[in-house]
Amino acid sequence: MSDFKPKTLFEKIWDAHVVAQPPGGPTVLYIDLHLIHEVTSPQAFEGLRRRGLKVRRPDRTFATMDHGIPTHDRSLPIVDELAAKQIAALERNCAENGITLFGIRQGADKQGIVHVIGPELGLTQPGKTIVCGDSHTATHGAFGALGFGIGTSEVEMVLATQCLLQRKPKTMNVRVEGKLQKGVTAKDIILAIIAKYGVGVGTGYVFEYTGDVIRRLSMEERMTICNMSIEGGSRAGLIAPDDTTFEFLYGREFAPKGAEWDRAVEAWRKLPSDPDAPYDATIELDASTLEPMITYGTNPGMGMPITGRVPDPDKLGDTSQRAALQKALAYMNLQPNQPLLGHPIDVVFIGSCTNSRISDLREAARLLKGRRVKEGVRVIVVPGSTQVKRQAEREGLHEIFINAGAEWREAGCSMCIAMNGDELQPGQYCVSTSNRNFEGRQGKGGRTFLASPLTAAACALTGVITDVRTLLN
């Protein structure tokens, strides 16, 4: 009798990285790739210094600057004192420890948001364990890698040991079947999943996204989906690697080359979940009926189809949910049952690790080409990396944005976290392609509607919440 036990993609990666499993304790997990940035690493390096420790694997550690980096002219001094200090500390720490840095002065042509440059450079590969001091590390799961965010003390642990203590999560199959309608994108799929199942559905689980819709998505679309796994409560979200994955990675700077590439692909082809592998839970979404999505509240689960109406707290039976919705609507200054279509907006932000890749910019530019954004609406377009920026400029996308009246910026997180003056004024409404709509996330008193790049571009043109399908030929 065969003792073959079918495994999920997650279990295959996890099992291959267990260094030790003390009885009853957390697993000691080996980490293949550690991505660091300026915000969560300074204290970790200080900790190493205090303990007289060195970085164990500088060759498996890569750094970039994204959260606090200005997206205006880089030749100007950095005005934000904290950001300037963090950026200087990262430069010093990388130089002292032999870590490759993609920063302002050094490696500037490869600088960008950490979750954009990892895949772009081919550092992100199937089967790897990848960590970063940022919760959207789940993005890398689009390649069939186990990527998750860690805290500052864990950054220090990985720098010192290249290992991490982790409790094994359960697995959840997130199956998306059907056929996407015109104007409906990967961002709408993930917003719909979170709206349907809530921000806590993935707590204690790792998502694996499956189904024919997922298989048909490009790598960039898959990254958008996995990026927001954390907004569904899961620290990681995986998609099985396939030919789409291998085509994306082939030839990238840090991807294996020659015979090594062939060996890698052979190994990667064994990663997808075995046909009968059991998941601990399954949830489903029929994508055929999806409309473009938009959020109305102050967590990413408070989302609805764009033609919908804001829900009424009085119709909620659960008292804590009712109170949360009442508070969110008060903050957003929205009324129960009102439609969002036609609601005026002040700002549009196209960027962030969710939607700042070249295909996102192409989508937005496709709509803005030859048109002007509504007078009085500020539109900021921030590419996810310097390479994305250069590619966009080669294609002339920057001219489309500038001619439409939008601001064209350097790569960074920008208005996703309201840094360096890229922020909303109190009371302003912003349609944002980022991933979080918490109170004050984009500036004190600022109000965020999360949406896809297509929807954001449509709203930029009209100055109100707009169903992009009315503008598509």
What is the closest distance, in whole angstroms, from the C-beta atom of residue 432 to ligand SF4 in the complex? 10
What is the closest distance, in whole angstroms, from the C-beta atom of residue 450 to ligand SF4 in the complex? 12
What is the phi/psi pair of residue 217, to 5°?
-75, 150
For ligand SF4, the closer of residues 142 and 329 by Cβ is 142
In whole angstroms, give the CA distance from residue 156 to residue 284.
38
How many Cα atoms sit within 13 Å of 387 on the Cβ side?
A: 18
How many Cα atoms sit within 13 Å of 19 on the Cβ side?
A: 13
Q: How far is CA 376 from the centre of its chain?
A: 29
What is the closest distance, in whole angstroms, from the C-beta atom of residue 415 to ligand SF4 in the complex? 9
For ligand SF4, the closer of residues 281 and 418 by Cβ is 418
For ligand SF4, the closer of residues 164 and 353 by Cβ is 353
Both tokens of residue 468? 């992009």
In whole angstroms, give the CA distance from residue 178 to residue 397.
32
What is the closest distance, in whole angstroms, from the C-beta atom of residue 118 to ligand SF4 in the complex? 11
Give the count of beta carbons closer than 10 Å to the beta carbon of residue 190: 31
For ligand SF4, the closer of residues 97 and 135 by Cβ is 135
For ligand SF4, the closer of residues 433 and 466 by Cβ is 433
For ligand SF4, the closer of residues 185 and 435 by Cβ is 435
What is the closest distance, in whole angstroms, from the C-beta atom of residue 86 to ligand SF4 in the complex? 13
Both tokens of residue 358? 């070249």
Residue type, 72: H
CA dihedral defined by 462, 222, 245, 252, rounded to 10 degrees? 60
For ligand SF4, the closer of residues 183 and 233 by Cβ is 233
For ligand SF4, the closer of residues 135 and 326 by Cβ is 135
What is the closest distance, in whole angstroms, from the C-beta atom of residue 24 to ligand SF4 in the complex? 34
For ligand SF4, the closer of residues 268 and 349 by Cβ is 349
What is the closest distance, in whole angstroms, from the C-beta atom of residue 351 to ligand SF4 in the complex? 7
Q: How far is CA 206 from the centre of its chain?
A: 16
The footprint of ligand SF4 (CB under 6 A) covers 66-67, 113, 115, 134, 136, 352-353, 413, 416-417, 434-435
Find, among 440, 428, 437, 415, the residue nearest to 68 by Cα: 415
What is the closest distance, in whole angstroms, from the C-beta atom of residue 211 to ligand SF4 in the complex? 26
In whole angstroms, give the CA distance from residue 163 to residue 152.
14
For ligand SF4, the closer of residues 183 and 300 by Cβ is 300
In terms of Cβ atoms closer than 10 Å to its own Cβ (0-12, 13-18, 19+), residue 420 is: buried
How many Cα atoms sit within 13 Å of 253 on the Cβ side?
A: 9
What is the closest distance, in whole angstroms, from the C-beta atom of residue 422 to ligand SF4 in the complex? 11
For ligand SF4, the closer of residues 290 and 353 by Cβ is 353
In whole angstroms, give the CA distance from residue 389 to residue 221.
18
What is the closest distance, in whole angstroms, from the C-beta atom of residue 66 to ligand SF4 in the complex? 5
Angle at 252 between CA 248 and CA 258, to 5 degrees: 100
What is the phi/psi pair of residue 329, to 5°?
-65, -35
DSSP 277: P
Q: Are 463 and 345 in contact (CB under 8 A)?
A: yes
For ligand SF4, the closer of residues 224 and 434 by Cβ is 434
The DSSP bridge pattern shows strands 205-210 and 33-36 to be: unpaired
What is the closest distance, in whole angstroms, from the C-beta atom of residue 64 to ligand SF4 in the complex? 10
What is the closest distance, in whole angstroms, from the C-beta atom of residue 436 to ligand SF4 in the complex? 7
User: If phi over 0 gives left and psi between -120 and 50 gives alpha, with beta otherwise, what is residue 118?
Assistant: alpha
Find, among 146, 154, 165, the residue nearest to 36 by Cα: 154
Residue 378 β-bridge partners: 347
Residue type, 35: L
